[in-house]
A = this chain, B = another copy of it.
Amino acid sequence: MIRFNNDYNVIAHPQVMAALQEHAQESYAGYGEDEWCARAAELIRERTACPQAAVYFLPGATQANYIVVAAALSPVESVICADTGHIFCHEAASIENTGHKLLALPSKNGKITAAQVAEEAARYYDNGTPEYLTEPRLVYLSLSTELGTVYTKAELAAIHEVCARYGMRLFVDGARLGYGLGAAECDITLQDLAALTDVFYIGGTKCGAMFGEALVITDKTLQPRFKAYMKQNGAVLAKGWLMGLQFCALLQDDLYFTITRRADEMAMQLRESFLTRGVPLAVDSPTNQQFVVLTEPQKVKLAEQFVFEDEGDSVRFCTSWSTTEEDLAILMAAVKRL
């Protein structure tokens, strides 16, 4: 069976593994207070052109999401997000478990618009800030989204502008940031992202690392005591240098974007093969996640040879750094034969 079910089904990119192996006998200070984490943080501050950013490494994306919310909001404040947002649909109410309400907006292909965000904010801010409503103070976006789509720089800037107008922070879930920024049609750079958001992360787990997300807090008012929030929620890894090391490897020679761009390109080939065969796209995605509509017999046929994710209305195929040219060719040939 060949796995196209997700982008985290192999341990780590060989260069990441090599880096871990190379330093396997060395001892380090714990809890992220080591030189690798410092170096990776410095690299990220350079790449984002954001010298004042605080950078922390967390083992997982769910942790990153809910800890940012816990640190950013008071109990009477809430989060605006898409109704397809990972935090709304896939994380077992981790946000509500921190005591916060999600104001989920109807999304289109995984995206929400500045106009929608403005309307939701206005319900509270332009309506007398009634005490029986929560105060939306954080806007959560995913890039790429859960459906593989991306925001353009203009769209992101427009949402940023609404946030600035109402004093809300903008948070970008970057679990698949490499695939998002790596997409041919995405005109956002890491520097843009740092400039237009208050906090975001560079996802490692799904983009070549063994595990780990690099959280970049550009807003200085969100930085104080952030590590205490991480500690309280079990997100300060004892052997923190494991993540510093991995991100150093991923950021060297732009490995991170090299591998995610390649996965996006493979996905574009796959997309083309589905379209050629007449299989409808459920979503028009420019990134490594492709959602297509298969007939039941087509599902059965492909399931003989491939692992993919069945979401009911559609199925998802993912490429990743570990997808081989050979496996992709086999899949595309099978699609052709459908």
Contacts A11-B242, A238-B8 known; A24 to B20 CB distance under 8 Å? no
Q: Which residue of B lies closest to A7 (CB)?
A: B238
Indicate if A149 sits at the interface (CB-CB under 8 A): no
A225 to chain B: closest residue by CB:
B76
The 26 listed contacts between A and B (C-beta, < 8 Å) are A9-B27, A9-B29, A10-B25, A10-B27, A10-B28, A11-B239, A17-B24, A59-B60, A60-B237, A62-B236, A71-B75, A74-B225, A75-B97, A75-B229, A76-B228, A76-B232, A91-B234, A96-B101, A97-B232, A99-B99, A129-B225, A131-B225, A131-B230, A131-B236, A132-B231, A211-B239
> Which residues on B sit within 8 Å (CB–CB) of A65?
234
How many interface residues does A have (CB within 8 Å)?
72
B97 pairs with A93, CB closer than 8 A: no
Residue numbers in B under 8 Å from A135 (CB-CB): 225, 228
A153 interface residue (CB < 8 Å to B): no
Assuming the contacts A20-B11, A238-B8, asked whether A93 and B211 have C-beta atoms less than 8 A apart, the reply is: no
Known interface pairs A76-B229, A234-B233. Does A132 touch B90 (Cβ–Cβ under 8 Å)?
yes
* Contact between A210 and B233, CB atoms less than 8 A apart: no
The residue on B at minimum CB distance from A94 is B232
Enumerate A215-258 residues with CB–CB distance to B below 8 Å.
Answer: 225, 227-239, 242
Majority DSSP secondary structure for residues of A touching B:
loop
Nearest-CB residue, chain B, relative to A64? B234
Q: Which residues of B sit under 8 angstroms from A14, Cβ to Cβ? A: 24
- Other than the given A27-B322, A206-B238, 5 more pairs (CB < 8 A) read A9-B27, A93-B134, A96-B101, A205-B239, A233-B233
Residues of chain A in range 21-57 having any CB-CB distance to chain B below 8 Å: 21, 23-30
